[in-house]
Amino acid sequence: MTQQMVSKSCTKDVRVIIVEDYKLTRVGLRYALNEIENINVIAEAQNAEIGLEIIKKEQPDVVLMDLGLPGINGLEATSQIKIISPNTKIIILTSHDREEEVIASLGSGASGYCLKDIDPVTLSNVIKNVAKGACWIDSNVAHLALKLFPKPENTEIMNTSSNFDAKAKLTERENEVLKLLVQGKSNTQIAQELIVSVHTAKAHVCSILQKLCVDDRVQAAVKAIKEGIVSV
């Protein structure tokens, strides 16, 4: 088992660790991301055991985590990272696109879910936004997850009513903010798009979390998609 550390300029402010068992994928990711300004790949690991040791020591900003790892899998590793490095954001980068894996990943503490056909520029933007507190779910997976949540006939009316209640609780501005939140926008980006202060954007996000009865932005995005509050 090996690990490789990559030293870069201190100007690279988003510190990233890659946990991926395929060497070619690790090398490709490292090479592509190291070409992007403000991203610093500080380490890589071929399995979760090595990755967890490095993460505990380095406390990175973002971890790119594969799901199908030998030994400790990506879901278990994600849960452990939230304990040993609470401020580290985890982005699942995988070829797995089943609904249960998406939901389980988000439930384990991941802030992003990307499929491996994502282009490097988009991935770099996801990394930067997630590092700032945003969440991001691949649009293909979001559509799939939404389709795989059928409403049982005996609860259809109740769910629809709950849906309308959730929408009714949100102001028009909060609905706009929620749509941007689902797109993975940070508070700064929301503020820029809606031409308001960052403080105001943050206040809207806090209000949305309270009204939707969720604890964080990821849960709000999942609920908004799952219950049809926001169309994707």
Architecture of domain 3-146: 3-Layer(aba) Sandwich (3.40)
pLDDT 10s digits, 35-87: 999 999 999 999 999 999 999 999 999 999 999 999 999 999 998 999 999 99
In this predicted structure, what is the pLDDT of residue 83?
A: 92
> Residue-wise over 90-113: b if at least 16 C-beta within 10 A, else e?
bbbbbebeeeebbbbbbebbbbbb
More confident residue, 158 or 48: 48
Q: In the prediction, which pLDDT does 124 show?
A: 93
Nearest to 6 by CA among 45, 59, 62, 56: 45
- Tell me if 106 sits within 8 A of 222, measured CB to CB: yes
Residue 91 has pLDDT above 90, yes or no: yes
Kindly tell me if the per-residue pLDDT of 224 is higher than 90.
no
Task: Collect contacts of 185-188 with beta carbons under 8 A, ≥24 apart.
Answer: 185/129, 185/134, 186/129, 186/132, 186/133, 186/134, 187/132, 187/133, 188/132
- Give the pLDDT of residue 165: 56
**Fold type of domain 153-226:** Arc Repressor Mutant, subunit A (1.10.10)
With contact defined as beta carbons under 8 Å apart, do 60 and 89 qualify? no
pTM over 0.85: no
- Max avg pLDDT among 56-70, 100-114, 149-163: 56-70
Predicted pLDDT of residue 226: 72
Residues 205/179, Cβ–Cβ less than 8 Å: no
Report pLDDT for 116: 92
Q: What is the pLDDT of residues 18-46, one digit of tens each?
A: 999 999 999 999 999 999 999 999 999 99
Q: Between the CA of residue 50 and those of 42, 55, 90, 112, 172, what are the distances in Å?
A: 14, 9, 16, 22, 47
% of the chain exceeding 70 in pLDDT: 83
User: What does the domain layout of the chain look like in residue ranges?
Assistant: 3-146, 153-226
Both structure tokens of 46: 């071929």
Whether the per-residue pLDDT at 215 is higher than 60: the answer is yes
**Tokens 């389709």 identify what position?**
147
* Banded model confidence at residue 166, pLDDT cuts 50, 70, 90: low
